[in-house]
Amino acid sequence: MSETQSLIYLDYSATTPVDPRVAEKMIKFLTPDGVFGNPASRSHAFGWQAEEAVEEARGQVAALINADPKEIVWTSGATESNNLAIKGAAHFNERRGKHIITVKTEHKAVLDTCRQLEREGYEVTYLDPEPNGLLDLAKLEAAMRDDTTVVSVMHVNNEIGVIQDITAIGEMCRARKIMFHVDAAQSAGKVPIDMEAMKVDLMSFSAHKIYGPKGIGALYVRRKPRARIEAQMHGGGHERGMRSGTLPTHQIVGMGEAFRIAKEEMAADNERTRMLRDRMWQGLQDIDEVYLNGDLEQRVAGNLNVSFNFVEGESLMMSLKDLAISSGSACTSASLEPSYVLRALGRNDELSHSSLRFSFGRFTTTEDVDRALASLHKAVDHLRNLSPLWEMHCDGIDLSKIEWAAH
């Protein structure tokens, strides 16, 4: 623990700490003196009480997105929800067609699921976003075919925080009777979601991105008109047959409480994180050759993704020992590849290699931001002094005109 004491946590898009109010509630569903029963036990009060807690949480999750509690299916997290939604809908509609549309900047949980479906004989179109990260709806429309059965577009991008126009895409899909799935892991509790207004058939959620515990998520499955999916996990027929497995009461209660708090505090949280994000961005303006990745307006409040030109991302991270941040997304930060999201935006290699994601949240302070800014200035100075590319840039050499010997 002591190792993290002096670290400034600016990685809320990777995960959030559990809100103490959530943890306090969860602990009541574990121990012998608590409600530890199996929610599926119908023959005694231990089970009934657990079931009641699960249903209360289901209502809390549904309330945040203006849905019916019966439309919420518990899963282990957004990755499982994405798998269940896309494979489930593709398999169920197999006789109608085998074409799926998604976007190159989706999370790996969506992209890799689509790759698996390709191996099963499906055809997948991966759309390029515009340079600001947003999807051109005309390009989406052009990609839709008679045999298209599923469109999957994330609400908020995990790396660059841009918000896609889910309402408009929903209209396009509904008009063509295409199942529309949305990965909302990064948007729930941060961007208003209204299932009455949005024509979304399937939507994935995670608890740990909004101050709930890890290991629990949900899939929204629309009832009217009914979205039908094929189960991917078979067993006791839990969750109306869509996802078998004993319900983890304490996790579910934690997710419910996190979503309840999010509904109450979303406006205030957003105002604070937007202020912190803007303070960070303003504080970087005196550094030359700093680029914002992704649209600034259509963007979630707590995300800032910046490229420091002529500085390599991994060495920059090494200089920022007091900052817990990520270069690219957490799932790719162990690899040496530049961010695939930034590449899909058409960012050049240098900028893709030098991106950092700062994400702010409920427990971030202005002091955190100011300390981060001081570290960043120092690190960028240090590395640019070492950078032959920066030297060439200062000498007025156009780096794109040089023939590099790739290795």
Partner 1 sequence: MAYSNKVIDHYENPRNVGSFDKSDGQVGTGMVGAPACGDVMKLQIKVGTNGVIEDARFKTYGCGSAIASSSLLTEWVKGKTLDEARSIKNTDIAAELELPPVKIHCSVLAEDAIRAAIDDYQGKQG
Give the nearer residue to partner 1 in terms of CB position, either 143 or 392: 392
In the shown chain, the binding pattern of residues 306 to 345 toward partner 1, with x for contact by CB under 8 A and - for none, equals ----xxx-xx--x---------------x-x-x-------
Q: Counting contacts by CB under 8 A, is residue 24 touching partner 1?
A: no
Give the nearer residue to partner 1 in terms of CB position, either 161 or 313: 313
Q: What is the residue whose two structure tokens read 């249903």? A: 55
Give the nearer residue to partner 1 in terms of CB position, either 244 or 375: 375
- Range list of β-strands (E), 87-213: 99-103, 123-127, 148-152, 179-183, 202-206
Closest among 309, 316, 312 to 379, alpha carbons compared? 316
SS3 8: strand
Q: Which distant-in-sequence residues (6+ apart) come within 8 Å of 168 by Cβ?
A: 137
Give the nearer residue to partner 1 in terms of CB position, either 197 or 318: 318
Residue 103 β-bridge partners: 127
Cα gap 335→273, rounded to integer Å: 29
Asked whether the beta carbons of 359 and 290 are under 8 A apart, the reply is no
Query: Distances from the Cα of 256 to the Cαs of 9, 53, 57, 241, in angstroms?
Result: 25, 9, 4, 21
Output the smallest distance, CB 395 to partner 1, in A. 10
Q: What's the angle, vertex CA 195, arms to CA 192 and CA 196, rounded to 5?
A: 110
Residues 140-159 that bind partner 1 (CB under 8 A): none
Output the smallest distance, CB 369 to partner 1, in A. 25
Query: Distances from the Cα of 211 to the Cαs of 161, 296, 351, in angstroms?
Result: 18, 25, 32
Contacts with partner 1 by CB under 8 A: the residue count is: 25
What's the chain's length in residues?
407
Question: Residue 331 catalytic?
Answer: yes
Output the smallest distance, CB 406 to partner 1, in A. 5
Give the nearer residue to partner 1 in terms of CB position, either 15 or 315: 315
Output the smallest distance, CB 353 to partner 1, in A. 5
Output the smallest distance, CB 366 to partner 1, in A. 28
Q: Counting contacts by CB under 8 A, is residue 3 touching partner 1?
A: no
Q: Counting contacts by CB under 8 A, is residue 121 touching partner 1?
A: no
Q: Counting contacts by CB under 8 A, is residue 7 touching partner 1?
A: no
Output the smallest distance, CB 400 to partner 1, in A. 9
Residues 344-363 that bind partner 1 (CB under 8 A): 348-350, 353
Query: Distances from the Cα of 82 to the Cαs of 137, 178, 296, in angstroms?
Result: 22, 17, 27
List 114, 173, 331, 394, catalytic entry: 331
Residues 375-404 that bind partner 1 (CB under 8 A): 385-391, 399, 404
Give the nearer residue to partner 1 in terms of CB position, either 156 or 311: 311
27: phi then psi, degrees, rounded to nearest 5: -60, -20
Residues that bind partner 1 (CB under 8 A): 310-312, 314-315, 318, 334, 336, 338, 348-350, 353, 385-391, 399, 404-407
Q: Which residues are catalytic?
A: 331
